[in-house]
Structure 1
Amino acid sequence: MNYKRVLFIVLAILLLAGCSAKEELALDDSKTKDLADKKNTDVKDEPRNKFPLTGVSSDESIEQRAVAVMINNHPNARPQSGLSKADLVYEMLAEGDITRFLAIFQSERPSQIGPIRSARDYYIETAKGLDCIYVCHGFSPEAKTMLDKGYIDNLNGLYYDGTLFQRSDDRKAPHNSYISFAGIQKGAKEKGYEMKGAPKPFTFLTEEDVAGLQGESAQKVEISYGLKEYDVEYEYDATDKKYKRYSNGEQAVEYKSNKPILLDNILIIEAAHKVIDEKGRRKIDLNSGGKGYLLQKGRLNEVEWVNRGGRIIPVKSDEEVGLIPGKTWINIIPDQPGLVKDVSF
């Protein structure tokens, strides 16, 4: 495969016809009034806590440490297990035109997570920015150096295959390595890793902010990483008020249960990519910042992204842009050619 060719990345935003700006603003005003009326009549006690990576209120403890898991995105690994419970998912290119996921779990603890794949240095850096325990199965040479030096607390399936990590009988290696959250907790205890210590919270919008959200009406978004098998599509569901995800035309759901993956925030950013070896491995610059699109409630806003303390943050005029409480997916694409917006009415 020729890895020197330029990847064709297209972002297509398809706008719903028939809804004028005035109608949308009137709808927003109506929502704001409804929320104000509801706030005046509600007398229920508010939950005491908010999870730092989702902004979702809870009476449960929110002090647990986050866990980052490398998830396989090969077609033979789909559908995956546990992704619907991840607070954050980062999708980036690994080798060639193949993407993998870094799934961050803090508010929920799925019974099974996987299939799990090998580490790359930029995934490790991302996990480090959230002070996660990092879970993988294998590594690139650069990632091995980082893990061997203890750069991040980690559990690697190469050393726990058949113990903490289990192989599924209904898929073939390397697409069949899984771990349970109980297994992660057991491994962390064995290695003396602290399981307390919640990450610093992101900035989240209030109900009033969400009701008054502005931006272009973006009902459907398509991202191509170069291979059809890794094409991504997000489609806004006005009933659920969330985005559905599709991979190569098939809806992303949980393995066995078929529970759909539903998202509240989608951040799409461009970053410099560089192929560094004959295997097609990459360096991805997640420090310099750049352009991005933020999709929320069927609307799109152009933003910038910055790296603050190892975390990718959407900003406008250097102010952090608030997220809608819920699940967030971050797609990182090469800056050549970068974000290309094709708008259809």
Structure 2
Amino acid sequence: MKKLLLLTLTVFVLALAACSSDNQASDDNKEKDNVPEQQPEGNDRYAATFPFSGIETDESVDNRTIGVMINNHAAARPQSGLSEADIVFEILAEGTITRFLALYQSELPEVVGPVRSAREYYFELAEGYDAIYVYHGAADFVNDMIVNRGINFLNGSTYDNDGILFKRESFRKAPHNSYLQLGAVYDVASTKGYETTSTQESLNFLTEEKIETLDGEKAAQVKVEYGDNTSESVEYTYDEASGKYARSSNGEPSVDLNTETAIQVDNVFIVEAFHEVIDDSGRRAIDLKTGGDGYLIQKGQVQEIQWENKDGRIIPVKDGQPIGLVPGKTWVNVVPTDPGIKQSVTISNE
């Protein structure tokens, strides 16, 4: 009887101990649940990097790039949506008037424009960045090239003023009043069987440590001339506070029409390329494949560099090695070999 009583007492004590242990574990778990999750330090908190701006994000970065032809005639200024493009190529179209190819991936404004017609060298650039190429009208032979080369495109002439993809605004006259409703691009592209997602290889971007060690000549003011001194000019002025360059056209600050946001640039990339007029309308062929001389202007400094076309992308190189970009916005100004980059570009520290 004593043995049975002792055994029963032992079992009771063990059960009581187990229950106490379970309660303590439960309390410990509750305390752990109430402790905020430790956030990773530094860049580890971001899941990805936008491939053409180098900006880190916790959002998805697989939306396909959209390349839009944007008018730069004086009657088309100020434009809409330019301040949000990751990369903008500024290249001569006719005469001394330039036109933009704006590449959108990390930011997608509601409206972009005015939209203008296509050129071969623009759609070849768009293809290099795997972009859906958006334009409004083109010469028949240019349209044929776009179709025959398998470019994924949306032509505003097909959707002119449909109110979904394109809208004609009354405050400007044609051909300076066609505006792309950018939010509709992916839906319309899907109806044509185009992919609207894409995994892109990132451009080469500098780390914060590399940015702090940038070394070059001072470049507070950059002026790019397209033609003689009475023609179109572009200016970039460095702002020490923001570490960016503010853009102007013919002395007028470049701003967004809808938001009045000033266009500020992290990388000014100027390249020299061979230009040739190919018809009576003044259309050009431009060699963006061979490479040549260039300037890379960042953080108030300029480097004399070379440029190369790598798999359809225009990249800066020095001593045969790619040079990194500062994360942010990049504008690429293409100037003719005649008169040349030294004659077309003036850089000063004033």
TM-score range, shorter chain: 0.7 to 0.9
User: How far has the Cα of 1:98 moved from its partner?
Assistant: 1.1
Contact 1:119 1:137 in 2 (8 A): yes
Q: CA 1:202/1:343 → structure 2, altered by over 3 Å: closer, same or farther? A: closer
Partner amino acid, structure 2, of 1:271: A
The answer on 1:327 being equivalent to 2:325 is no
Distance across 2 between alignment mates of 1:136 and 1:241:
33
Q: Which runs of 5+ in 2 are unaligned?
A: 1-39
Alignment correspondent of 2:147: 148
Q: Once the two structures are superposed, what CA deviation does each residue of 1:114-152 show, in whole Å capped at 9, x if it has no partner?
A: 000000000010001011100000113442121232521
Contact 2:88 2:100 in 1 (8 A): yes
Q: Once the two structures are superposed, what CA deviation does each residue of 1:249-270 show, in whole Å capped at 9, x if it has no partner?
A: 1000000321001110010010
Aligned-partner SS, 1:234 = strand
Contact 1:120 1:142 in 2 (8 A): no
Alignment correspondent of 1:256: 258
Contact 1:243 1:263 in 2 (8 A): yes
Aligned-partner SS, 1:161 = coil
Q: Percent identity?
A: 50
After TM superposition, what 4+ stretches of structure 1 lie above 3 angstroms from structure 2?
42-45, 341-345
Matches within 5 A, 1:1-345: 43=41, 45-163=44-162, 164-226=165-227, 228=230, 230-340=232-342
Partner amino acid, structure 2, of 1:240: S
Q: Which runs of 5+ in 1 are unaligned?
A: 1-41
Aligned-partner SS, 1:71 = strand
Contact 1:66 1:199 in 2 (8 A): no
Partner amino acid, structure 2, of 1:218: A
User: How far has the Cα of 1:186 moved from its partner?
Assistant: 2.3
Distance across 1 between alignment mates of 2:54 and 2:326:
8
Q: Is the deviation greater in 301-310 or in 196-205?
A: 196-205
Aligned-partner SS, 2:187 = helix
Contact 2:220 2:348 in 1 (8 A): no
Partner amino acid, structure 1, of 2:74: P
User: How far has the Cα of 1:183 moved from its partner?
Assistant: 2.0
Q: Once the two structures are superposed, what CA deviation does each residue of 1:80-101 show, in whole Å capped at 9, x if it has no partner?
A: 0010110000000011111000
User: How far has the Cα of 1:46 moved from its partner?
Assistant: 2.7
Q: Is the deviation greater in 219-228 or in 162-171?
A: 219-228
Distance across 2 between alignment mates of 1:205 and 1:261:
22
User: How far has the Cα of 1:60 moved from its partner?
Assistant: 0.3
Partner amino acid, structure 2, of 1:198: T
Distance across 2 between alignment mates of 1:343 and 1:117:
31
Contact 1:229 1:247 in 2 (8 A): no
Alignment correspondent of 1:38: none
Distance across 1 between alignment mates of 2:242 and 2:71:
27
Question: How high is the TM-score relative to the length of structure 2?
Answer: 0.84
Q: Is the deviation greater in 189-198 or in 205-214?
A: 189-198
Distance across 1 between alignment mates of 2:245 and 2:81:
17
Q: CA 1:306/1:135 → structure 2, altered by over 3 Å: closer, same or farther? A: same
Distance across 2 between alignment mates of 1:111 and 1:328:
21
Q: Once the two structures are superposed, what CA deviation does each residue of 1:241-292 show, in whole Å capped at 9, x if it has no partner?
A: 1000000110000003210011100100100000111111100000110000
Q: Is the deviation greater in 237-246 or in 150-159?
A: 150-159
Question: How high is the TM-score relative to the length of structure 1?
Answer: 0.85
Alignment correspondent of 1:28: none
Distance across 2 between alignment mates of 1:212 and 1:329:
22
Contact 2:307 2:317 in 1 (8 A): yes
Structure possessing the higher radius of gyration over alpha carbons: 2
Distance across 2 between alignment mates of 1:150 and 1:275:
22
Contact 1:84 1:261 in 2 (8 A): yes
Aligned-partner SS, 2:53 = coil
Q: Once the two structures are superposed, what CA deviation does each residue of 1:306-337 show, in whole Å capped at 9, x if it has no partner?
A: 11111111001111100000000000000112
Aligned-partner SS, 2:124 = helix
RMSD: 1.5
Distance across 1 between alignment mates of 2:346 and 2:263:
25
Distance across 1 between alignment mates of 2:141 and 2:114:
22
Partner amino acid, structure 1, of 2:198: G
Distance across 2 between alignment mates of 1:343 and 1:85:
26
